[in-house]
A and B are shown apart, each in its own frame.
Chain A
Amino acid sequence: MTALRRGLRHAAPLWDVAFALAGALLIAALVLRLAGYPPLAVLRGAFGFSLFTVHGITTTLAFATPLIFTGLCFLIGVRAGIFNVGAEGVVMVSAGASVAFGALLALPTSVHLPVTLAVAVAVGVVWMLPSALLKAHRQVHEVLSTIMLNWIAIFLVAFLIAYPLRDRDFPARTVLILPSSRLEALLPGTSLTAMVFAGLLLCVAVYVFLYHTPTGLHLRASGANPEAAYAVGIDVRRLTMLAFLLGGALAGVAGFTLTAGFPPYWNIDEHMQSLLRMGFLGIVVSAMARNHPLGCVLSSILVAAVLTSRSYLQLSHGVVYEFAELLAGVVVILLALPGISRDIARWRAKQTARQRALTPSPAGVRGP
C-alpha cells in the first residue's frame, strides 16, 4: 500500500502532462472546429495514422530519435540551471558537417561512419562553445547568445546547400551521403535505423549520469541552487560549461541522425524542411518529460507522432503543415503553468493537516 502510494507520488508530475495534453487537444479541436474542419475525425485520424499503422509508427520512431537527442540537450541544460535553446543551430551545422564529410570524403566502410559521427559531435560541441564561454565568464543570457548562433547556423547551412554541397543534377537538395557512411533502414522501405537504440541508450546514460554519479549530483545542485552549490565548494562555472558542451554533443548526434541516419534521403533539402525546428521541439520533449531523462522516451514519441501526422493531415484533410507547431506551442505554454499536481498536493496537505488537528497526537509527539 505504501509502495503504491509512493509510486503515485512519483507519478504526480504526470498529471500536469496529462492536463497539458488534454488542454492542448481541446484547444486544437476548437481551432479546427472554428476553421470548419471535423475536429474528432481529424485528430483521431492523425494519431491513428502516426501510432497505429506500420508506416506511421516507424516514421514516428524515426522522428522520435533525433528529438530524444535535442530533448536531452535542453534537459541537461535545465538541470544545470540554463535555458540552452541552441540545439536548433547545432542540428543545422552538424547536419551540414555530416553531409560534407559523409558525401565528399572517400573512406573504407568500417571507418567512414564513425568518422562522420565524430565530426558531427565535434562540430556540435564547438558550436556550443561561444554560448558556454559567454554564460560562464560574462553572464550573457544564454537564450540570446544561442538564438543568435542559431540564425548564424541557418544562414551558414543555407550557403552550404546553395553552393558547396549542392547536387548539380538535383538542385533541390544536397549531394547524397555515400553508402559507406549511411545507416540503412531496419525495415526496408522505412526511415527507422539503429539510431533509435542509441536514443534509448543515451536516455539511460543521461539518467545514470545525472542521478548516480557525483558530477551529475553537482550539476543538478548548481542548477537547483547555484549559491548553495558554490558555498559547498562546487565549481558552478565548470558545470555550466559542461552542461552546454554535453548538450552540444547530444544535438550533434541529432544532426547526424537527421542526415546519415535518415533513409531514404541521406541529404538536406534546399529549404531545410527536415531540420527546421527539430532543435526547438527538444524543448517540448524535455518539458513534457518534466525534465527527467527517462521520460524523454515517451514524450519524444508523442511529439514525433504530431510531426508524423503533419503529412497525413495535409493530404487527407487539407490542414496546413505547421498545425503541429500550434499544438506543440499550446502544450508548452500549459506545461509552464505550475499546474494542478501542485494544487492537488497543497489541497492534500491541507486535508492531512486538518485530520492531524482532529486526532490527538499520542504523548505530545508532533508529526513532521
Chain B
Amino acid sequence: MSRLLAVLAVLAAAAALTLLRGPVATASLALMALAAMVPIALPAIGEVLNEKGGVFNIGLEGIMLIASAAAVYAAELGGSGLVGLGGGLVAGAIVALLFGLAVTYGRANQTIAGLGLNFFGIGAVAFLIFEIWGAPGFHRVPEALRIQPLATPAGLLRWLSVAAVLIPFLVVGLLQHTRFGLRLRAVGHNALVSDVSGIEVYRLRLAACVLGGALAGLGGAYMSLDWIGLASIDLIAGRGFVALACVVFSGLNPWRAVAAAFVFSVFNALGLWLQVEPWARPLMARGGSALFLMLPYAAVLILLVAAPAREAFPREIGRPYERP
C-alpha cells in the first residue's frame, strides 16, 4: 500500500515535470535525487544487515558523522579522495565495532547506546575539526581531493550512486546464498536456538555491525568528500535516521531500502529545486528556504503512516542476547 503510493507519487511527479518542463528537467531532477540518495541508501543497506542479525543500530547518524570527518582527514593525509573514502569506510567500521562490542558482549541496551553514540559523534567531530584544522564548526575540503563525478548533459552523475544501486546484489547474495547469511538470519530469528546449535551469536552480530558500519561510513565519506565537500557537525542532518526509516519501509529487503531512499531523495531534490522557481522568490526573500528543507522529513513522516507491520522483522530485534 505504502509502496504503491510512493511509486505512484514519484511517477506522477516525473510525468508532470516532463510535461511542464521537458525531459531534460526530469533527468536533472533524477540525477539530483540519485546524488542525494547515496548517504541514505548505503547506511540503510548496512542497517538491513544489522537488523537481520537482531541489532538495531540507532547510532548510524553518529557513525556517519565521525566517518565523514575522518574521511577528509584521511584524504588530506593520503593526498587522494579515494584514500579518503577508504578511510571513512574503515572509521565507520571501527566505531561500529565498538558499538557492536557494547551491545553484544556488553549486553547494552541498543537504543540507549545508539543515542549515546550520536551524542558522542557530535562532540568528537567538533573536537576533531577544531584540533586538526583549528576551525570551529566546519572545514572545507580542498577541491583537488574531491571525487570527480561524471558529467552528463542533464547534470552530474556520482559514481557512488551507481554503487548504491549495485551493492544490494552483493548483500542479497551474502544473506541468501552464503553460510554467513543463513547463520546471521538464524541469530536474528532466535538467538537462543542458534547458540544451542553451535553458532557464535555475539561474533556474528559483531560481524554484521562492522559491515553495516563500513557502509554507513562510506555514506558519510561520500557526503564530505564527494557530494558536499565539507566536514562539519551539521553535515549529516538526520540522514542516519532517515536511513532507519527506509529500513522500516523495506521490511529488511535491501532493494526496497534503496528504493525508499530514492523516494525520499526525490522529495529532497524537489525541495532544493523548488527554491529557484520564480513563484518561490518572494517566499525565499523572507527566509523561506527552511520551509523547503522541511519537505523530505515531512514526506518520511507521512509515509511512515503506511509502513508495513512489525511481522516483517526478526523476532529478536533490539534484544540483547544473554545465555540463560
Q: How far apart are A6's CB and chain B's nearest CB, in angstroms?
A: 27
Closest to A161 in B: B287
- Mark contacts of A82-125 with chain B using CB atoms, 8 A cut-off: 1 yes-contact digit, 0 otherwise: 01010000000000000000000000000000000000000000
Q: Which residues of B contact A321 (CB under 8 A)?
A: 126, 136
Q: Is the CB of A159 within 8 A of B127?
A: no
Q: Count how many chain A residues have C-beta atoms less than 8 Å from C-beta atoms of the other chain.
A: 52
Q: Which residues of A contact B122 (CB under 8 A)?
A: 277, 322, 325-326, 329
Q: How far apart are A137's CB and chain B's nearest CB, in angstroms?
A: 9
Q: Which residues of B contact A67 (CB under 8 A)?
A: none
Cβ-neighbour of B238 out of A151, A280, A324 (below 8 A):
A151
Q: Is the CB of B123 within 8 A of A322?
A: yes
Q: A85-B115, A138-B307, A329-B119 are in contact. Are A147 and B238 (CB under 8 A)?
A: yes
Q: Please report whether the interface of chain B is mostly helix, strand, loop or mixed according to DSSP.
A: helix
Bound CA span A335–B113, Å: 8
Q: Count how many chain B residues have C-beta atoms less than 8 Å from C-beta atoms of the other chain.
A: 52
Cβ-neighbour of A155 out of B131, B233, B291 (below 8 A):
B291
Q: Is the CB of B287 within 8 A of A329?
A: no
Closest to A149 in B: B301
Closest to B233 in A: A322
Q: Is the CB of B290 within 8 A of A147?
A: no
The residue among B58, B129, B233 with the most chain A CB atoms within 10 A of its own CB is B58
Q: A85-B115, A152-B301 are in contact. Are A336 and B108 (CB under 8 A)?
A: yes
Q: Which residues of A contact B126 (CB under 8 A)?
A: 320-323, 325-326
Q: Quick check: is A61 within 8 A (CB to CB) of the other chain?
A: no
Q: A141-B248, A144-B304, A320-B126 are in contact. Are A337 and B107 (CB under 8 A)?
A: yes
Which residues 144-180 in A have Cβ within 8 Å of B in the complex?
A: 144-145, 147-152, 155-156, 158-159, 161-163, 166
Which residues 209-239 in A have Cβ within 8 Å of B in the complex?
A: none
Q: Quick check: is B288 within 8 A (CB to CB) of the other chain?
A: yes
Q: Is the CB of A152 within 8 A of B297?
A: yes
Cβ-neighbour of B305 out of A138, A159, A320, A328 (below 8 A):
A138
Q: Is the CB of A333 within 8 A of B102?
A: yes
Q: Quick check: is A143 within 8 A (CB to CB) of the other chain?
A: yes
Closest to B112 in A: A336
Which residues 280-330 in A have Cβ within 8 Å of B in the complex?
A: 280, 283-284, 287, 319-330
- Mark contacts of B277-301 with chain A using CB atoms, 8 A cut-off: 1 yes-contact digit, 0 otherwise: 0000000001110110110011011
Q: Quick check: is A7 within 8 A (CB to CB) of the other chain?
A: no
A-B contact count (CB 8 A): 162
Closest to B127 in A: A320
Q: Is the CB of A148 within 8 A of B297?
A: yes
Q: Which residues of B contact A328 (CB under 8 A)?
A: 116, 119, 123
Q: Is the CB of A148 within 8 A of B304?
A: yes
Bound CA span A151–B119, Å: 16
Q: How far apart are B253's CB and chain A's nearest CB, in angstroms?
A: 18
- Mark contacts of A328-358 with chain B using CB atoms, 8 A cut-off: 1 yes-contact digit, 0 otherwise: 1111111111100000000000000000000
Closest to A140 in B: B304
Q: Quick check: is B120 within 8 A (CB to CB) of the other chain?
A: yes
Cβ-neighbour of B288 out of A139, A159, A319 (below 8 A):
A159
Q: Which residues of A contact B109 (CB under 8 A)?
A: 336, 338
Q: Is the CB of B288 within 8 A of A331?
A: no
Q: Quick check: is A35 within 8 A (CB to CB) of the other chain?
A: yes
Q: Quick check: is A26 within 8 A (CB to CB) of the other chain?
A: no
Bound CA span A151–B301, Å: 11
Cβ-neighbour of A35 out of B116, B127, B241 (below 8 A):
B127
- Could you write out 6 A-B pairs with CB less than 8 Å apart? A138-B304, A138-B305, A144-B248, A148-B242, A320-B136, A329-B62
Q: Taking beta carbons and an 8 Å cutoff, which residues of A are in contact with B?
A: 31, 35, 83, 85, 130, 134, 138-141, 143-145, 147-152, 155-156, 158-159, 161-163, 166, 277, 280, 283-284, 287, 319-338
